[in-house]
Structure 1
């Protein structure tokens, strides 16, 4: 029993050393962020949309972009995914994910890299997870285009913070130069730019409304398959509309 106690103490110490954690996870009974301002996050969030993700991922590969501490990547591995590659640009988050992966005995392939570098993986995945990242990016539409071009083979699980109107309008195929209706309709697509901080975070650059999120997904070649709850979408790869191709300088 003494050894168990010492192991638990070591685990608690390691969790504290790697803090703060944004993912509250149960590791051998120890919570990583028990005082999280959102509560038991992201576990409670996951319960709201987990039904749209295949329960059995055997034979499939998964890429988790902006994996943070690896909550979703580990869920995909638990569902039997053959390989789960999890990337993040923050080495501390990757260290958290490595610890969680080791403690739960669910192997992940962890890489320190940005969404803008997905072409370097030289692989397309059956399921790409891109949750809680878009609004942190200076170039969000480019990120979606690169994912569609280089990373996604079939499904995209997507989430973004949204602000503004939650209703959507059906956009016309074209608008006259002097027609202001697209810009005056609150249900029209709008991407709010945040110059300084939002919620104390200087990396919160954009706050799209629902119409903007859905329009951006379609524009990058993702057909919305499921919308299980606010801000969350399961998409399938589709044809990109005319004019949405990557410029030659971004093709590899």
Structure 2
């Protein structure tokens, strides 16, 4: 795509506001982001943990937003990159950003709860910044493991609470109460209304909670290269398996 500087700036403004700060033709899409140069600053802390050469690989980017990570995967040579999101505004941004970057990426409107429709496993699955926006986070992890997981899961979630992790027995007596008050016990903090002015922030885990839920869904944590990022591989077990509720009129 070749646009004048003025036309490019106007199109970026038309597609805004942007959550991903991306450099498109020398113009930043969200230069005043409250997290700074996000997500680039986070990406540079764990980029080394993902293979630099992805030729022959397929990548699924769940909750792709404006496509920052999808573009990074394609620029590393991935044969196929599919970015999915449920927000049409983000998808429009992602398609435009990919055109400006001159990379071929497919973007589709799809919920994480419906990824079984894809009918394909991907070598690498990115699940970045989605977990805490989900009303049913463990179901989503189960669906990722059951339907699309190939070799590598790159998972990221906001943490709150303690970063301690307790070593726990596999069972506890009914009389056990104090354990649940320990900072390192796995926890999900429930947000009834809003967090950071966002009504889609539902569950915020502590570190122990993230790690326990990943294991429960059938993932082995292979690396923890950044505070919120986990590199995981599938285990032989698929965890608790996904439960499929009967679809009602709000299922779309």
- What TM-score results when the alignment is normalised by the length of structure 2? 0.94
Residue in structure 1 matched with residue 194 of structure 2 by the alignment: 197
Structure-2 separation of matches of 1:40 and 1:76: 19
C-alpha deviation, 1:8, in angstroms: 1.5
Asked if 1 retains the 8 angstrom alpha-carbon contact of 2:138 and 2:217, the reply is yes
User: Residues 157-176 of structure 1: matches in 2 within 5 Å?
Assistant: 157-176=154-173
Runs of 4+ in 1 over 2 A off after TM superposition: 239-242, 245-250
Q: Secondary structure at the match of 2:220?
A: strand
C-alpha deviation, 1:239, in angstroms: 2.6
Structure-1 separation of matches of 2:243 and 2:188: 23
Q: Secondary structure at the match of 2:20?
A: coil
Q: 1:81 aligns with which of 78, 81, 95?
A: 78
Residue in structure 1 matched with residue 249 of structure 2 by the alignment: none
Are 1:16 and 2:16 an aligned pair?
Answer: no
CA spacing shift, 1:235–1:91, aligned 2, 3 Å: same
Are 1:110 and 2:100 an aligned pair?
Answer: no
Asked if 2 retains the 8 angstrom alpha-carbon contact of 1:62 and 1:129, the reply is yes
Asked if 2 retains the 8 angstrom alpha-carbon contact of 1:119 and 1:150, the reply is yes
Structure-2 separation of matches of 1:125 and 1:101: 20
Aligned length: 245
Can you list the C-alpha shifts for 1:122-159, whole angstroms capped at 9, x where unaligned? 10000000010000000000000000000111100000
Structure-2 separation of matches of 1:34 and 1:107: 25
Are 1:124 and 2:125 an aligned pair?
Answer: no
Are 1:246 and 2:242 an aligned pair?
Answer: yes
Asked if 1 retains the 8 angstrom alpha-carbon contact of 2:145 and 2:238, the reply is no
CA spacing shift, 1:155–1:230, aligned 2, 3 Å: same
Can you list the C-alpha shifts for 1:75-105, whole angstroms capped at 9, x where unaligned? 0000000000000000000000000100111
User: Residues 1-252 of structure 1: matches in 2 within 5 Å?
Assistant: 7-240=4-237, 244-247=240-243
Structure-1 separation of matches of 2:72 and 2:110: 21
- What TM-score results when the alignment is normalised by the length of structure 1? 0.94
* Structure 1 portions without partners, runs of 5+: none
Can you list the C-alpha shifts for 1:3-59, whole angstroms capped at 9, x where unaligned? x8x622111111000100011111111111111111111111101110100000010
Q: Secondary structure at the match of 1:49?
A: helix
Q: Secondary structure at the match of 1:146?
A: helix
* Structure 2 portions without partners, runs of 5+: 247-252
Structure-1 separation of matches of 2:56 and 2:178: 48
